[in-house]
Amino acid sequence: MAFLVGSLTKMPALQAFCVQAAIAIGFNFLFQIFTFVVALIYDEERRSKGRMDVLCCIPTNQTTS
């Protein structure tokens, strides 16, 4: 929000920087949220199939509870 408020300034260089920073921070925030959810989904699928955590292509014989 601070960068969006800073984009209301009259100095063109500062205005451009604030707009660019606000867009970059917003994209970064959304990207992290969506990436984390996808990682949780893949991890739960891996756990339900009984696969190892680092070498997820190797199945194990252990049952999870």
C-alpha–C-alpha distance, residues 44 and 64, integer Å: 11
pLDDT at 52 over 70: yes
Segment 16-39, tens digit of pLDDT: 999 999 999 999 999 999 999 999
C-alpha–C-alpha distance, residues 21 and 61, integer Å: 49
pLDDT at 64 over 70: no
pLDDT value for 21: 94
C-alpha–C-alpha distance, residues 4 and 26, integer Å: 11
pLDDT-based confidence at residue 65 (cuts at 50, 70, 90): low
Structure tokens at 12: 């063109």
Structure tokens at 23: 């867009």
Structure tokens at 65: 């509870």
Structure tokens at 43: 């991890």
